[in-house]
């Protein structure tokens, strides 16, 4: 395992990108620095904005596993997420998603994932197909599978995320790349990425959405919502904000 200490003036954006593009095994946030653990090289960050220092082996491979304090996450009163090494809650009788925490982004811990889950949960109705763009570990696609969706597609530009999603969802079509890499269009499309990445991916996302069910977008900071929302034609039918991350769902009025 490797550890990197990152300092600079744009740590929030750096951590957002790492959550999307790296298989983070641990994160420690300080006032002026973040330290991240992973098994591979650190993805490319803007070296003009941050300074990166790889920490010594003995620090990177400390005895703590990072799993000791893991717990089930109650996203809604009837929706729970937990890793497989955490026991099920005996008194819980709602929808339970069991997702490994190897991919920090998509495991249910990150605020943008919770916002996306809440919106998806609030607008859900039976659909024949769903596509999850920027799937991470596949948690949003996993939600659709648990709810009985028959055809599921997912994509991510990171190989580690694709491998994790394929392991979690062996019957889904999981592609390395963007939405255009998938072979079908879906009733419901969900995308959880940074606001900048959402903006760039919207045309490809629209091309894979047949508009029979809502489009769910998450991962935006509050100041990014208006710009993204202005590009989607339809009625906003749900909104959530968890911490600094926002999500909303749009129902097309043209179908």
Global confidence as pTM: 0.75
Average pLDDT over residues 76-82: 92
- Mean pLDDT, the chain, rounded, equals 87
Q: Is the pLDDT of residue 69 over 80?
A: no
pLDDT at position 108 is: 62
Report the number of secondary-structure helices (H) and strands (E) in the chain. 7, 14
Burial 191-226 (b: 16+ CB within 10 A, else e): bbbbbebbeebbebbbebbebebbbbbbbbbeebbe
With bands split at pLDDT 50, 70 and 90, how would you rate the model's confidence at 65? very low
Q: Which are the contacts of 157, defined by CB distance < 8 A and separation ≥ 6?
A: 21, 134, 176, 177, 178
82 pLDDT more than 60? yes
* Sheet arrangement for strand 26-29: 26-29, 33-38, 2-8, 50-54
With cut-offs at 50, 70 and 90, classify the pLDDT of residue 247: very high
Span of 9-23, 85-99, 175-189 with lowest mean pLDDT:
9-23
Q: What b/e sequence results for 27-38 when a residue is b if at least 16 CB atoms lie within 10 Å of its CB, and e otherwise?
A: beeeeeebbbbb
**Direct distance between the N- and C-terminal alpha carbons of the chain, in angstroms, rounded to an integer:** 50
| Highest mean pLDDT (candidates 46-50, 62-66, 196-200) | 196-200
Res. 255: pLDDT tops 70: no
More confident residue, 26 or 151: 151
Residue 128 CB partners (closer than 8 Å, separation 6+): 149, 150, 151, 187
Per the rule left: phi > 0, alpha: psi between -120 and 50, beta: everything else, 66 is left
Contacts of 254 (CB under 8 A, 6+ apart): 211, 233, 234
pLDDT for residue 246 is more than 90:
yes
Residue 129: its pLDDT value, please?
98
Can you give the residue ranges of every domain in the chain?
2-60, 73-251
| Strand-by-strand arrangement of the 79-82 sheet | 73-76, 79-82, 95-98
- In the CATH scheme, what architecture does the domain 2-60 have? 2-Layer Sandwich (3.30)
Residue 104 confidence (pLDDT): 41
- CATH number for the segment(s) 73-251: 3.40.50.150
């Amino acid at each position: 395992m490797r550890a990197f200490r990152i300092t600079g003036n744009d740590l929030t954006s750096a951590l957002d990108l790492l959550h999307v593009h790296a298989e983070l095994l641990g994160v420690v946030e300080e006032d002026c620095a973040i330290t991240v653990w992973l098994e591979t090289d650190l993805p490319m960050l803007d070296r003009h904005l941050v300074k990166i220092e790889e920490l010594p082996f003995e620090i990177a491979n400390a005895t703590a596993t990072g799993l000791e304090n893991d717990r089930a996450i109650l996203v809604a009163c009837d929706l729970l997420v937990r890793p497989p090494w955490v026991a099920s809650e005996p008194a819980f009788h709602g929808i339970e998603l069991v997702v490994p925490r190897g991919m920090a982004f998509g495991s249910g811990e990150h605020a943008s994932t919770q916002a996306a889950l809440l919106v998806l949960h609030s607008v859900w109705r039976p659909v024949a197909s769903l596509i999850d763009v920027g799937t991470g570990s596949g948690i949003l696609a996993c939600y659709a599978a648990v709810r009985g969706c028959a055809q599921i597609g997912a994509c991510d530009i990171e190989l580690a995320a694709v491998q994790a999603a394929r392991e979690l969802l062996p019957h889904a079509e999981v592609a390395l790349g963007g939405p255009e890499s998938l072979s079908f269009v879906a009733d419901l499309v969900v995308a959880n990425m940074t606001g900048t990445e959402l903006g760039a991916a919207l045309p490809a996302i629209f091309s894979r959405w047949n508009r029979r069910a809502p489009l769910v977008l998450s991962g935006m900071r509050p100041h990014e919502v208006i710009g993204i929302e202005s590009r989607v034609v339809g009625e906003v039918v749900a909104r959530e904000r968890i911490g600094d991350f926002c999500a909303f769902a749009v129902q097309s009025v043209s179908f």
